């Protein structure tokens, strides 16, 4: 054991930037374990990057002996970019190991593939591939697929792997598990035969290497890999530690065993991935595992207004198990949190549109606006609302580029070229495009391969041995396919990846099949393939810039480990995403939609367990803390989802918001619905007591009937959101709109109902004003009594009380 480099750092920042006291402490702490509780918006990334810079610049730690682990590739890229800036480390930062758990492990395993019974060309199976393997395994075992669905079996295998157990030592909880254990064993064998690893394997295999003992039961190459890895890193930093699972933490403990220089940064309040194996206890019990750990809490929020911070705290406060900490900010209170009742999901969509337009008119760039929802199913209606008024948006999540069928096909071709043993990939392409190799033929090939213990590709090479089982046409076609693949393999040698793709698309007939199809859809597919080719070229450029040789293997690994959502972002569009997708991001304006019981907190069937409910609460905390200046929360009185209509009671999280930070509003349609009394189920209402007890005065109830009479005008006051230039679709700016003012009712002009009260004014109504002359109503508002915002040529947009207007 050798001690890691140590010395005292005085006021240790690597460059003259202000850090607050706890931030500076975290940066300066050098020897031994460090736990940083980093509240939302508390400058966590700054602490990590400065800490690394400090280690390299002051403590003289060689950069290649520092490992920084992040949760996503995007986070890794951003961290590296920051460190490479001249005010931090500059080009030296390139030698740092910065990456996700998976990418880091894959990088290491490529160096020592023999230690895990693979070759260096091993492929990484994604969820679809894994499912295909499990499906085959279960079919081979003739298992009842109602009891043993591929999905559930795979989920179980993942769970075992995440907790570090192989087939031999998996937990057997019920009689059903015996079959699962057999399936797990076969699954592992199939992956090994295919020279493939799944995501969990990347981590688990490295842990196995690190845990190898000298008792003679491990081959020399495993021990060699272990020794190399044990010595590899002097300092380890982990971001988003609250989202690590057991096996990841075990990996960290092993990697840091020699030096104890393990720094973990996270926020237990933002732990939202329990359902996929994250264990919040890793961060909560870190001090127990590392009694010497220095603990720092970053509690000053630099991101949000007081109203937002106090709302977030109010939502998370009821959580009984959290690490005590107080987020605070010295910013202003800012605007009130708006809680808007909508009639239904369409009304909510209209309301979102309204809010986005108001934001735009207040000078907020669309990329600073995000719309959150709990489940993707909510996005469709919101999309429709935005599309119908030409508001540009991007959706994060949903179907990904690399999941498109044509992209997967192309990648399967490429993977077979690199790793012919990959049966899943071969099965995908053997008859794609259609080349007359049907199910029966494939089954016969597979049967032969299984009995001879060969991969499908190897079996193809011995066609003659089982030709008697095949028709002559089938035989011929398999032969042609084999020739095609052999040709492609020889063509692929020493060629840039993008060129290999071009060749294979041409020679396989894939491109021609799409061209012949000649539909809008096939055209889109061709475009996607062109994009794939583009991303391969990009990869080559990047690899060369890093001084690495670009290889097809390298590209395929990147595809496996990098999601395309990683590169979403810097466009002038509103972002729509689930709250999970929003972790780590921040926006000027956040619209949090669907805030009803059973939507958020989400509930499918059974009541949620307390643990699940706590995670929902943390999710709400994450959502709120994404907002810098403005937060709008919407809920609908009824909602169509999954084909049924649900009645909506405002979420308990809405009830938790502090009264002095929020204002309650409702759309006209919601008010109409409320007045009719049809939609609110009294018992459900009683459940949301804090909601019901809210004073009636917070939701005044104006009438839209236009009274007669005359008097003075009411001018439009400057928007509370500030009046910056509208940076939206240039040239298409509609007549300006402003944000509602405090206390103003938020009634959507699109939805303003006139039937109820015999309203005569509506959006688009032509009106005459004594002073301003003829104008057009832009929207209905209230100023203690019915009013409108109307556009008067020569005067501009004015807010005037309805009673001063005549229809014209």
**Interacting residue ranges for DNA, rule: CB under 7 A:** 71-74, 100-103, 126-127, 135, 146, 151, 199, 275-276, 374-377, 380, 397, 399-400, 431, 434, 436-441, 560-563, 565-566, 577-578, 580-581, 602, 604, 608, 612, 616, 640, 642-643
Evaluate the CA torsion angle 312, 317, 321, 323 in order and state its sign: positive
Residue 222 CB, nearest approach to DNA (Å): 23
Buried b (16+ CB within 10 A) or exposed e, 206-217: bbbbbebeeeee
Residue 152 CB, nearest approach to DNA (Å): 8
- If the CB atoms of residues 100 and 195 are measured against DNA, the closer one turns out to be 100
- If the CB atoms of residues 452 and 640 are measured against DNA, the closer one turns out to be 640
Contacts of 188 (CB under 8 A, 6+ apart): 166, 167
Tokens read off for 586: 């921040």
- If the CB atoms of residues 151 and 774 are measured against DNA, the closer one turns out to be 151
Residue 808 CB, nearest approach to DNA (Å): 42
Largest CA distance in the chain: 100
State the Cα angle at 224 between 546 and 554, rounded to 5°: 30
Q: Environment class of residue 359 by beta-carbon count within 10 Å: exposed (0-12), middle (13-18) or buried (19+)?
A: buried
For helices 246-255 and 101-111, the axis angle rounded to 10 degrees is 60
Give the integer Cα–Cα distance in Å for 371 and 126.
Answer: 29
- If the CB atoms of residues 10 and 146 are measured against DNA, the closer one turns out to be 146
DSSP 8: -
Residue 580 CB, nearest approach to DNA (Å): 4
Give the integer Cα–Cα distance in Å for 342 and 348.
Answer: 5
Place of tokens 């004014």: 761
Q: Environment class of residue 578 by beta-carbon count within 10 Å: exposed (0-12), middle (13-18) or buried (19+)?
A: buried
- If the CB atoms of residues 442 and 723 are measured against DNA, the closer one turns out to be 442
Residue 538 CB, nearest approach to DNA (Å): 17
**Contact status, residue 574 vs residue 366, Cβ threshold 8 Å:** yes
- If the CB atoms of residues 276 and 771 are measured against DNA, the closer one turns out to be 276
Tokens read off for 183: 């399936």
φ, ψ of residue 516 to 5 degrees: the values are -65, -30
Residue 213 CB, nearest approach to DNA (Å): 28
Nearest to 667 by CA among 704, 692, 695: 704
Residue 523 CB, nearest approach to DNA (Å): 17
DSSP string, 522-545: HHHHHHHHHHHHHHHHHHHHHHHH
Tokens read off for 789: 């915002």
Give the integer Cα–Cα distance in Å for 307 and 658.
Answer: 9
Residue 377 CB, nearest approach to DNA (Å): 6
- If the CB atoms of residues 276 and 387 are measured against DNA, the closer one turns out to be 276
Residue 417 CB, nearest approach to DNA (Å): 22
Give the integer Cα–Cα distance in Å for 305 and 335.
Answer: 8
- If the CB atoms of residues 248 and 261 are measured against DNA, the closer one turns out to be 248
Tokens read off for 711: 């008097």
- If the CB atoms of residues 275 and 795 are measured against DNA, the closer one turns out to be 275
Angstrom distances, CA of residue 191 to CA of 66, 421, 429, 646: 32, 10, 18, 44
Q: Please give the positions annotated as active site.
A: 44-45, 239-240, 270, 626
């Amino acid at each position: 054991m050798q001690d890691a480099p140590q010395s005292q750092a005085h006021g240790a920042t690597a460059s003259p930037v202000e850090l607050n006291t706890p931030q500076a402490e975290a940066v300066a702490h050098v020897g031994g374990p460090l736990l940083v509780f980093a509240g939302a918006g508390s400058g966590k990334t700054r602490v990590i990057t400065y800490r690394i810079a400090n280690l390299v610049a002051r403590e003289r730690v060689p950069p290649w002996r520092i490992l920084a682990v992040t949760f996503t590739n995007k986070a890794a890229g951003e961290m590296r970019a920051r460190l490479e800036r001249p005010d931090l480390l500059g080009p030296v930062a390139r030698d740092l190991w910065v990456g996700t758990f998976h990418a880091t492990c894959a990088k290491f395993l490529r160096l020592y593939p023999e230690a895990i019974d693979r070759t260096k060309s091993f492929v990484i199976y994604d969820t679809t591939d894994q499912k295909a393997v499990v499906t085959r395994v279960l079919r081979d075992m003739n298992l009842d697929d109602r009891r043993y669905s591929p999905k559930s079996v795979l989920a179980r295998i993942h769970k075992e792997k995440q907790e570090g157990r192989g087939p031999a030592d998996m937990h057997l909880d019920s009689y059903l598990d015996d079959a699962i254990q057999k399936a797990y064993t076969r699954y592992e064998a199939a992956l090994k035969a295919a020279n493939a690893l799944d995501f969990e394997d990347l981590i688990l295999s490295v842990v196995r290497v690190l845990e190898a003992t000298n008792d003679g039961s491990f081959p020399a190459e495993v021990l060699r890999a272990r020794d190399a890895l044990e010595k590899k890193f002097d300092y380890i930093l982990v971001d988003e530690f609250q989202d690590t699972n057991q096996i990841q933490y075990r990996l960290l403990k092993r990697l840091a065993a020699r030096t104890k220089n393990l720094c973990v940064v996270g926020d237990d309040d933002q732990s939202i991935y329990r359902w996929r194996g994250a264990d919040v206890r890793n961060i909560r019990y870190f001090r127990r595992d590392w009694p010497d750990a220095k603990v720092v809490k970053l509690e000053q929020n630099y991101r949000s207004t007081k109203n937002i911070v106090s709302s977030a705290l109010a939502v998370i406060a009821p959580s009984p198990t959290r690490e005590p900490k107080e987020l605070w900010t010295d910013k202003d209170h800012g605007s009130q949190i708006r809680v808007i009742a909508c009639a239904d999901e369409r009304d909510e969509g209209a309301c979102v549109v309204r809010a986005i337009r108001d934001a735009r008119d207040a000078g907020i760039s669309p990329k600073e606006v995000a719309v959150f929802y709990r489940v993707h199913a909510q996005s469709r209606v919101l999309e429709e609302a935005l599309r119908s008024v030409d508001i540009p948006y991007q959706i994060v999540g949903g179907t990904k580029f690399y999941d498109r069928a044509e992209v997967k096909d192309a990648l399967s071709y490429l993977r077979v070229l690199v790793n012919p043993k990959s049966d899943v990939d071969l099965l995908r392409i053997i008859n794609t495009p259609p080349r007359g190799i049907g199910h029966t033929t494939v089954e016969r090939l597979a049967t032969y391969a299984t009995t001879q213990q060969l991969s499908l590709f190897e079996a193809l090479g011995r066609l003659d041995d089982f030709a008697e089982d095949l028709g002559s046409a089938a035989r011929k076609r398999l032969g042609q396919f084999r020739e095609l693949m052999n040709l492609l393999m020889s063509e692929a040698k020493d060629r840039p990846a993008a060129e290999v793709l071009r060749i294979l698309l041409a020679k396989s007939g894939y491109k021609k099949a799409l061209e012949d199809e000649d539909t809008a859809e096939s055209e889109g597919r061709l475009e996607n393939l062109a994009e794939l080719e583009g991303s391969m070229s990009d990869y080559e450029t990047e690899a060369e810039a890093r001084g690495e040789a670009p290889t097809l293997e390298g590209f395929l690994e990147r595809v496996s480990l990098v999601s395309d959502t990683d590169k979403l972002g810097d466009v002038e569009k509103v972002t729509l995403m689930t709250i999970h997708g929003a972790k780590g991001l921040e926006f000027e304006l956040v619209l949090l939609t669907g805030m009803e019981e059973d939507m958020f907190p989400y509930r499918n069937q059974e009541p949620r367990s307390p643990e699940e409910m706590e995670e929902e609460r943390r999710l709400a905390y994450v959502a709120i803390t994404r907002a810098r200046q403005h937060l709008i929360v919407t809920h609908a009185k009824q909602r169509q989802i999954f084909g049924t209509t649900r009645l909506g009671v405002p979420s308990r999280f809405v009830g938790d918001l502090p009264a002095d930070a929020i204002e309650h509003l409702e759309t006209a349609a919601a008010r109409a619905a409320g007045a009719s009394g049809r939609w609110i189920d009294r018992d459900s209402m009683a459940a949301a007591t804090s909601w019901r007890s809210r004073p009636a005065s917070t939701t005044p109830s104006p009438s839209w009937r236009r009274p007669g009479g005359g008097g003075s005008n009411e001018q439009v006051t400057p928007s509370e959101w500030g009046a910056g230039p509208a940076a939206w679709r240039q040239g298409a700016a509609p007549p300006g709109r402003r944000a509602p003012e405090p206390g103003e009712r938020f009634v959507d002009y699109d939805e303003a109902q006139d039937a109820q009260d015999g309203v005569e004014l509506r959006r688009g109504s032509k009106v005459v004003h004594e002073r301003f002359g003829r104008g057009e109503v832009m929207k209905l508002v209230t100023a203690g009594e019915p009013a409108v915002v109307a556009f008067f040529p020569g005067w501009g947009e004015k807010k005037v009380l309805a009673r001063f207007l005549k229809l014209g």
